[in-house]
């Protein structure tokens, strides 16, 4: 019997490069990536429905009331949440679903889906993290400082994850995450 798809949570501080890792996994065609909803403003180049569904606070709160999220959290002043319907549909179809979310969201997913696989992506050092955050060039100094402070709080929480992978060279990190997913798929099949 084919088992349901895996639910995979990928977290890591802003600037750790996890978005790029997820994009690479998506290119392999073996995973579906959930598009989150958020109340933050789009960055230049971001398109509604692609990187995020950009919602007003009112619309987001309404969706919470309708049980429309697998999980949601407030992060640096904005709400972020994983829409429930699409992710559950994919899993029922046997597809592996990736949620790229922060740590509070991961804790909720673990409570509701104990079989989920959680992966924390670490930057090689705090210096590299700061360089990457600034290199983006899209955030104000105030937001960069808040994200750096949040990153320092988040890194110790990597202990609660099933796997921790360092993103030093992108190809190595993607290869390592791909191997983890393969191992977990094999495990799910053998456990039926
Ligand atoms: P950003 O504003 O840089 O796109 O995302 C900020 C943080 O929110 C990142 O750590 C990202 O992983 C997290 N995030 C994005 N979507 C979701 C979501 O649906 N739920 C939760 N809990 N966090 C999310």
User: What is the tens place of the pLDDT at every residue in 12-61?
Assistant: 998 889 999 999 999 988 899 999 999 999 999 999 999 999 999 999 99
Give the strand pairing for 69-75 and 78-83.
antiparallel
* Beta carbons within 8 Å of 166's beta carbon, 6+ residues apart: 121, 122, 123, 124, 173
Task: From the CA of 78, give the closest atom in ligand 1.
Answer: 2
Task: From the CA of 104, give the closest atom in ligand 1.
Answer: 22
Q: Running DSSP on this structure, what letter comes out for residue 192? A: -
Domain encompassing residue 62: 7-191
Question: What was the pLDDT predicted at 1?
Answer: 41
The pTM of the full predicted model, rounded to 2 decimals, is 0.93
Q: Report yes or no on 1 lying in a domain.
A: no
Protein residue with its CA nearest to atom 3 in ligand 1: 14
Q: Report yes or no on 92 lying in a domain.
A: yes
Protein residue with its CA nearest to atom 17 in ligand 1: 101
Protein residue with its CA nearest to atom 19 in ligand 1: 81
CATH number at residue 119: 3.40.50.300
Q: What's the rounded Cα separation, in Å, for the pair 85 and 40?
A: 22
Q: Report yes or no on 81 lying in a domain.
A: yes
Q: Report yes or no on 2 lying in a domain.
A: no
Nearest-CA neighbor of 31 among 95, 113, 92, 119?
95
126-135 and 141-154 helices, crossing angle to 10°: 150
Q: What is the per-residue pLDDT across 85-139, written as a single tens digit (0 to 9) for each?
A: 999 999 999 999 999 999 999 999 999 999 999 999 999 998 998 888 888 777 8
CA of 100 to the centre of ligand 1 (A): 7
User: Ligand 1 in contact with 97 (CB < 6 A)?
Assistant: no
The total of structural domains in the chain comes to 1
Check residue 67 and give left, alpha or beta (phi > 0: left; psi -120 to 50: alpha).
left
Question: What was the pLDDT predicted at 139?
Answer: 81
User: Ligand 1 in contact with 81 (CB < 6 A)?
Assistant: yes
């Amino acid at each position: 019997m084919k088992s349901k798809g895996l639910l995979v949570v990928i977290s890591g501080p802003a600037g750790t490069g996890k978005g790029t890792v997820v994009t690479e996994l998506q290119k392999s065609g073996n995973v579906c990536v959930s598009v989150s909803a958020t109340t933050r403003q789009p960055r230049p180049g971001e398109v509604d429905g692609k990187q995020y569904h950009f919602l007003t606070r009112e619309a987001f709160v309404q969706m919470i009331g309708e049980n429309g999220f697998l999980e949601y959290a407030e992060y640096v002043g904005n709400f972020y949440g994983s829409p429930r319907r699409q992710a559950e549909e994919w899993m029922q179809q046997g597809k592996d679903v990736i949620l790229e979310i922060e740590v509070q969201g991961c804790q909720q997913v673990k409570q509701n889906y104990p079989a989920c696989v959680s992966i924390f992506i670490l930057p090689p050092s705090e210096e590299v993290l700061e360089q990457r955050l600034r290199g983006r060039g899209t955030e104000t100094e105030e937001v960069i400082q808040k994200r750096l402070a949040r990153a320092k709080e988040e890194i110790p929480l990597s202990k609660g994850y099933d796997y921790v992978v360092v993103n030093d060279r992108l190809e190595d990190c993607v290869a390592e995450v791909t191997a983890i997913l393969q191992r977990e798929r094999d495990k799910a099949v053998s456990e039926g």
